[in-house]
Amino acid sequence: MKFLSDSEVITVAMNLEEEGAKFYEEAAKISKNKETKDIFSRLKKEEDEHYKTFKELLETLPGADSKGYFDISEEISAYLNSLVDSGVFKNTPKAGIKQLGEAAALRIGVNAERDSILFYTQAHIASTNPQGREVLSRIIDIEKEHLVTLTNRLRIARKLF
């Protein structure tokens, strides 16, 4: 077993939300379809809210000597580290999201939300912090809504674009 502190896991979550907000902001800028633009704009705002929620949670945690740890397997640790290293929103071209188009941006969003749900679910399972578990549970539900929204919009986009 490997141990990560609550603050380490929450910091990863904050990074995921920050990357997501930036991605959705850029995706909204390139979207020509109003409904797609509105979806990306709404998701950006929600990712910003998640970031704030995690930041507030981080500020309530005890200091570095805290006993709040996530007890995780080596396999899950490797998965979490790969998310940190690659980032769930970092598979966009170097030139930026402008080259992708709306349908590709929607696909990236779907994959990123799926990865986020996996991350938050593993963190929820491993957490011993009741407050952290409650926050993660709420975020998981919202991320699932994001996944459904993006998947439904992608189905429509395939017909439109």
Spatial contact of 11 and 83, defined as CB atoms under 8 Å apart:
no
- Count structural domains, the chain: 1
CATH of the domain at 61: 1.20.1260.10
Please determine, for residue 16, whether its predicted confidence score (pLDDT) is greater than 70.
yes
Find the length of the chain.
161
Question: What pLDDT is recorded for position 4?
Answer: 62
pLDDT band at 153 (very low <50, low <70, confident <90, very high): very high
- Quote the CA–CA distance of 72 and 75 in Å, as a whole number: 8
- pTM as predicted: 0.80
Spatial contact of 46 and 109, defined as CB atoms under 8 Å apart:
no
- Which residue range forms the structural domain that includes residue 80? 2-160
Q: Output the average pLDDT for the chain.
A: 81
pLDDT in tens, 80-126: 666 656 666 665 654 567 777 888 999 999 999 998 898 889 888 88
CA distances from 153 to 69, 140, 141 (A): 38, 20, 19
